[in-house]
Amino acid sequence: MNDDNPFLNHAELIDYAAVRIEHLQPAIEQVIADNRAALHAIIADQRELPTWDDLVLAVDALDARLNNTFYNIAPLSYRPGEWQTVAYQCWDLVQAYFAEKLQNVELLSLYERLAGSAHGMNLDWQSKAALQRTITSSRLSGAHLSNVQSERVQALEQRISMLQDTFVENVNRSSDDWSLHVMDEQRLLGVPELDKAAMAASATDRNLNGWLISLEEAPYLAVIERAQDRDLREQVYRAYLTRGASPDPDFDNAGVLQALAKAKQEKARLLGFDSFAQYNLQLKGGASPERVLAFLKDLARQARPGLERERQHLQNAAQQQGLAPFQPWDVAYMRKQMDHTPLRLSEDDVRACFSLDTVVKALVDLAHRLFGLVLTKVPAVATWDPGVRLFEVVQDHALLGYLYIDAIGREGKPSDGAWTFYIWNRHIDAEGKYHQSAAAAFTNVAPGQGTAPPLLSHLDLCKLFHEFGHCLHHLMVRTSNYHLGDIQKLGPGGFEIASKLLERWCWSAQYLADISAHYQSGKPLTVEAMQTFLDQLQAQERAKLAVDLAKALFDLDLHGNPDDGRSVLQRVEDSFVEAGAWPLADFERPLHAFDHLVAGYDAGYFGYLWADVYAFDLFSRFEQEGLLNRQTGRELQDELFAPGAARPIQTGVEAFLKRPSSALPFLRWYGLIAG
């Protein structure tokens, strides 16, 4: 063992100042080698009489060590160059090890013998739940298959991995190959000043004058929603809506998605399921495909009349402004133009009042006031980047673990999106030692420009609150079992519930006004002005809902029956029509860059909507009892967060609400029903 490798000899937190690139892969290889040897010894020792401590907890400890090692390495994949390559190689090694372990027939047999033994029958309910989850995961990974079938599953998994990489490469290639260099500032009339400053900084980075528009989310939205230059909007819209598309079939993601779906379908059928959707929903602890489809179709049915009314309203307004014929690149612009509310704030006005420091302070305060969590900065330990903030998390004088916030975009970090890493899971091992949890939230707030610090748009706020919700959920789990502490095992609808709930505070004018402070003067926004701004944004959320519905319907359709003869393009069109989304132009390929399908949300994208319906209902209790009510917050933790993956999420929701859950708050907020 290399005593100098920080990934092999850390007691708690990694000191990233001591990390060198040559530490990464040797650490993973060493842990995997140790795990294989230990697993072999555990199986030999447990053949006669498998027990909870010496089988389940012993193997869990091996899983924990490898996961902890890798997820301490994972943030280094956002350093440019060779760091990313090596980190991905580590990921491949970890995935291969876990696939091998899950398909270990002898290990599965020991788990099943334990579950059926007198010892297994007398375990407490959480231990029984954890053991059953472990057995199910092994069977769903093919541990029960014949050698021939197992070899075919492994080949399919390799093909799926290769196709997923190709999908991402096609999106990145088309995005990286396109940018628009603007020299005439008149073309940017209407674009918020902070977005223009970011475009100017992008140009400077390329040794150019003027402004450079890329296909990242922030500049795209700034242009498509605000630019008065219709030709500019068209150029950017066409480029953004054709990411991942190409006349060359080798670089077009329609074929990649179709091939992916067929490979997953074959794998699912080898494992005994009718479809990949059915297989994946069982694997992730979700509902049946039929129940999910009924949920989506019902939501689409209720949304469609309002969307059709809005479409006609926008077309009439566009005609009055001379935008004829009305084009796809006019839609978002017209939605913004439709608002004539007094006291309207601009995007620049709002962003100026939400510096990153202000927002992080508000998150720390929210965690304390709602849940009694005390987040204290840990300055003495170096993180993977100087811009990352590290907090120690304490509740009731007990250390729960640690929280990293990596909020600012930089070279090497994915340019769009937001995500969370679950670095350590809380658990108690066979010796009774308590292991803390740790999580890291990632977003892409634009760096500060000039004398201005990093400033957050409302979308940035929602993303950061969303990921903070994931982290809080993870940190507030109270189960003692390693795998029940993995909130991702709650399934798509349960896994997203805390993050969707935290977003609701970003739609409270009172709350946002209270935490706002202009980065120069310190002056807060008024509740009235904030409310008019949110009203304007809320009017546009229905269109986003329609697109999310279309994506969820497409996802379930593609992974439910990929062999029915319909093309990917036909499925996309069908899903957009069913969702009541804006009709697609013939050139649009909106789901060719739908990267959730290769990032673990395949046959699971519906979870965002499912969790959102729950979140609105949960938030209604805070609206009644106080947005910062400590007692309500602690009840939420006790009923919803503390059990981890030990019980279905709906059980926790209804225990907290003290009634069956309801979709009415969600439907009312979106204007889908009166009241």
Residue 472, domain CATH: 1.10.1370.40
Same domain as 379, residue 504 = yes
What is the arithmetic mean of pLDDT over 9-14?
A: 76
Same domain as 67, residue 185 = no
Task: Give the rounded percent of residues in the chain with a pLDDT score beyond 90.
Answer: 83
Same domain as 472, residue 370 = yes
Same domain as 112, residue 214 = no
Please report the pLDDT score of residue 323 as a whole number: 87
- Is pLDDT at 16 greater than 50 in this prediction? yes
Please report the pLDDT score of residue 600 as a whole number: 87
- Is pLDDT at 346 greater than 60 in this prediction? yes
- Rounded to the nearest 5 degrees, what angle is found at the Cα of 483, between the Cα atoms of 160 and 279? 35
Mean pLDDT check: name the lowest of 61-70, 213-222, 531-540.
Answer: 531-540
- Is pLDDT at 1 greater than 50 in this prediction? no
Long-range CB contact pairs, 84-88, < 8 A, 24+: 84/412, 86/21, 86/24, 86/25, 87/24
Name the more confident of 341 and 624: 624
| Structure confidence by residue, pLDDT tens digits, 376-392 | 999 889 999 999 999 99
Task: Give how many domains the chain has, as a whole number.
Answer: 3
Same domain as 193, residue 130 = no
Query: How far is CA 418 from each of CA 148, 255, 440, 464, rounded to the nearest angstrom?
Result: 40, 27, 11, 8
277-295: burial string, b at 16+ Cβ within 10 Å, e else: bbbbbbbbbbbebeebbeb
Helix (H, G, I), strand (E, B) or coil at 406: strand
| Mean pLDDT taken over the chain | 93
| Structure confidence by residue, pLDDT tens digits, 265-277 | 999 999 999 999 9
Please report the pLDDT score of residue 576 as a whole number: 96
- Is 634 part of any domain? yes
Same domain as 182, residue 140 = no
Same domain as 467, residue 362 = yes
What is the arithmetic mean of pLDDT over 48-54?
A: 96
Is residue 3 very low, low, confident or very high in pLDDT (cuts 50, 70, 90)?
Answer: low
Q: What span, in angstroms and rounded, lies between the C-alpha atoms of 264 and 466?
A: 30
- Is pLDDT at 281 greater than 50 in this prediction? yes
What is the arithmetic mean of pLDDT over 568-588?
A: 95
Q: What span, in angstroms and rounded, lies between the C-alpha atoms of 123 and 547?
A: 46
Same domain as 118, residue 54 = yes
Query: How far is CA 629 from each of CA 275, 406, 469, 612, rounded to the nearest angstrom?
Result: 45, 28, 17, 21
Is residue 538 very low, low, confident or very high in pLDDT (cuts 50, 70, 90)?
Answer: confident
Location of structure tokens 């909507």: 609
- Is 6 part of any domain? no
What is the arithmetic mean of pLDDT over 312-341?
A: 86
- Is pLDDT at 491 greater than 90 in this prediction? no
What is the arithmetic mean of pLDDT over 200-209?
A: 94
- Is 252 part of any domain? no
Same domain as 513, residue 368 = yes
- Is pLDDT at 103 greater than 60 in this prediction? yes
Location of structure tokens 């940035």: 460
- Is 597 part of any domain? no
Q: What span, in angstroms and rounded, lies between the C-alpha atoms of 76 and 367?
A: 28
| Structure confidence by residue, pLDDT tens digits, 661-675 | 999 999 999 988 766
Please report the pLDDT score of residue 577 as a whole number: 95
Same domain as 355, residue 227 = no
What is the arithmetic mean of pLDDT over 522-544?
A: 91
Q: What span, in angstroms and rounded, lies between the C-alpha atoms of 551 and 544?
A: 11
Location of structure tokens 């959102």: 612
Residue 68, domain CATH: 1.20.1050.40
Which of 119, 144, 169 is the last residue in one of the domains?
144
Please report the pLDDT score of residue 286 as a whole number: 67
- Is 166 part of any domain? no
Indicate the burial class of 146 (C-beta count within 10 angstroms; 0-12, 13-18, 19 or more): exposed
| Contact between residue 615 and residue 497 where contact means Cβ atoms under 8 Å apart | yes
Please report the pLDDT score of residue 341 as a whole number: 59
Closest C-alpha among 651, 645, 648 to residue 130? 645
What is the value of pTM for the model shown?
Answer: 0.93
Long-range CB contact pairs, 16-25, < 8 A, 24+: 16/76, 16/382, 16/383, 16/384, 17/382, 18/382, 19/76, 19/384, 21/82, 21/83, 21/86, 24/73, 24/76, 24/86, 24/87, 24/90, 25/86, 25/89, 25/90, 25/93
- Is pLDDT at 2 greater than 60 in this prediction? no
- Is pLDDT at 115 greater than 90 in this prediction? yes
- Is pLDDT at 236 greater than 90 in this prediction? yes
| Contact between residue 575 and residue 554 where contact means Cβ atoms under 8 Å apart | yes
Q: What span, in angstroms and rounded, lies between the C-alpha atoms of 443 and 464?
A: 6
Indicate the burial class of 94 (C-beta count within 10 angstroms; 0-12, 13-18, 19 or more): buried
- Is pLDDT at 282 greater than 70 in this prediction? yes
Same domain as 208, residue 77 = no
Which of 95, 120, 144 is the last residue in one of the domains?
144
- Is 388 part of any domain? yes
Amino acid at 485: G
Please report the pLDDT score of residue 254 as a whole number: 97
* Residues 188/189/191/197 CA torsion (nearest 10 deg): 60
What is the arithmetic mean of pLDDT over 462-488?
A: 95
Same domain as 199, residue 137 = no
**DSSP assignments along 346-367, one per residue:** PHHHHHTT-BHHHHHHHHHHHH
Q: What are phi and psi of 393, to 5 degrees?
A: -115, 120
Helix (H, G, I), strand (E, B) or coil at 57: helix
- Is 396 part of any domain? yes
Please report the pLDDT score of residue 86 as a whole number: 97
| Contact between residue 608 and residue 561 where contact means Cβ atoms under 8 Å apart | no
Q: What span, in angstroms and rounded, lies between the C-alpha atoms of 636 and 189?
A: 47
| Contact between residue 103 and residue 151 where contact means Cβ atoms under 8 Å apart | no
- Is pLDDT at 338 greater than 90 in this prediction? no
Closest C-alpha among 650, 660, 620, 653 to residue 635? 653
Domain span at residue 94? 16-144
Q: Which helix (H) or strand (E) holds 462?
A: helix 458-475
- Is 89 part of any domain? yes
Structure tokens at 479: 């189960």
